Amino acid sequence: MKMTSRRSFVKNLSLGLGSATVLPALTSFQLSPTRKNPAYSGKKLNVALCGLGRYANILAKGLAESEYCTLAGIITGTPEKAAAWKAKYNIPDKNIYNYENFDKIARNKDIDLVYVVLPNGLHKEYTLRAAKAGKHVIVEKPMAFTVADCQEMIDACRKAGVQLAVGYRLHYEPHHLEIKRLGQEKVFGPVRLIEASLGYNLAGTPPDDWHLKKALAGGGPLMNLGVYCIQSNRYVLGEEPTAVTAQFGPVTMPELFTEVEENISWQLQFPSGAIGTSTTTSNCNIDRFYAAADHGFFELSPGLSYGPFKGRTSEKAFNFPVINQQAAQLDGIGQLILQGQALPSHISGEEGLKDIRVVEGIYEAARTGKRVALS
C-alpha cells in the first residue's frame, strides 16, 4: 500500500457533505466572507482532548497532521499525564483541566471543541458538560449505553447551539468510501450477505481493566467493537435493519468476564432481504468485512480497525492510499465547523443513536433467544 499525503487525499474528498445551514461563528475564529478555504488563514479549530488514554495518543498524532484542527487543551484526572502532555505538546496551563474544574472551560475562548475520549460510561456526562460550556463535541464510540442517553446528548447540544459528532473515522477512509459506493450503487448487483467481524484477544488483561466493568464499559465486545460491524452493514447497504437475532458465545475466560460478555454473534435482516452476520469477541484477533452480491463480491482484511486496510473485489485488488484516519476525520469535521456549516448526518449524534438502537436490540435478542424487531 502506497503512503500518500493525507492532506492531498482529504482535498479530494467531498468534505462539504453537510447541509449549508449557517451556525453561530466561533468565539476564537471569524470566517472572512471572501475566504473560501479557512485553513489558509493559519487559524485552526482549537481542540481539547478529554481523557488521555491510549486512543488519545493516536488522536494527538492526527491533530499534529491536521490542516484544520490543533491540540489546544487537555482534561485529565492524572497530574503526571497533565505534566507529560504539557511538556510534549506545549499546552499552556490555562488550557489544562481536571474532571473537577472542567466546567470552567466555558470561560476559555481558546477552546472551541471538546473531544471526549473517556471510558464509555463517561461519554454522556462529559458531552453534556461540554455542551453546557458552549463547546462543540466529538464523542468516541459507542456514543452512550442507551438510546435514551443518546437522545439526551443530542438535545443538550442542540439546546446549547453546538455541534455534536461521533468519532466515525471510517467515513473518511478511502477503502470504506469504496465499499460504501460498491454496495449502495449495486456495482455487483444487490448485496445479499455481509459478514463483518471484529475481535481482540484480551487474555492476560488485568481484571480491573475498565473494559471488563459493566458500569464503565456498558458491555463487552459488542459495546466496544460491535458498532464498527453495525456501521459497515448500514452504510454499505444504505438501509436500516428491521430485525435481529443474536446469541451469546461461550465464556472461555471466566476469571475476567464476570460482568460483560466475552463473545456474541448476531444476524441482521434488512428491507431489501440482505442479511448481515457478525461476531465480536474478546477471545481472538479477527478483523474482516465481506459482502456477497449477485454478480461478485468485495472484501477487506484487515477491515474494520485501524488498518492498514487491504481489500479486493471479485475483479481486482484495491489500490487506495494509506492515510491517517484520525487526521482525515478531524479535517472533515474541522473544516465544516470553521466554515459555520452543519456536520453531515452520517457522523452526527443521530447516527450514533441509530447504532445504539441496534446494540440494544442485539442484547435483547441474545438474552431472550427471540427475534427482535428494530423500529
Interhelix angle 349-368/221-237, nearest 10 degrees: 120
Q: What one-character-per-residue DSSP string does 87-122 give?
A: HHHT--GGGEE-TTTGGGGGG-TT--EEEE-S-GGG
CB atoms within 10 A of CB 369: 10
User: In 3-state terms, what secondary structure has residue 370?
Assistant: coil
Catalytic-role residue among 97, 115, 126, 228? 228
Q: Where are the beta strands (DSSP E) in 183-274?
A: 191-199, 243-248, 263-269
Residues 327 and 333: their CA atoms lie apart, in Å, by 10
Question: In the structure grid, which three cell numbers stand for residue 324, read together?
Answer: 491517517
The CA-atom distances, in angstroms, between 217 and each of 100, 119, 213, 236, 243 are 22, 7, 6, 27, 25
Which amino acid is located at 26 in the chain? L
Residues facing residue 287 across a β-bridge: 198
CB 358 within 8 A of CB 37: no
Helices (H), the chain: 6-12, 54-65, 79-89, 123-132, 147-160, 174-184, 214-217, 221-237, 325-338, 349-368
186 is catalytic: no
Indicate which residue of 44, 124, 135, 141 is catalytic: 141
What cell was used for 97? 483541566
Residue 21 burial (10 A CB sphere; 0-12, 13-18, 19+) = exposed
Please give the Cα distance from 135 to 73 (Å, whole number). Answer: 13
Q: Is 132 a catalytic residue?
A: no
- With b for 16 or more beta-carbon neighbours within 10 A and e for fewer, the 350-361 pattern comes to ebbbbbbbbbbb
Catalytic residues: 141, 228
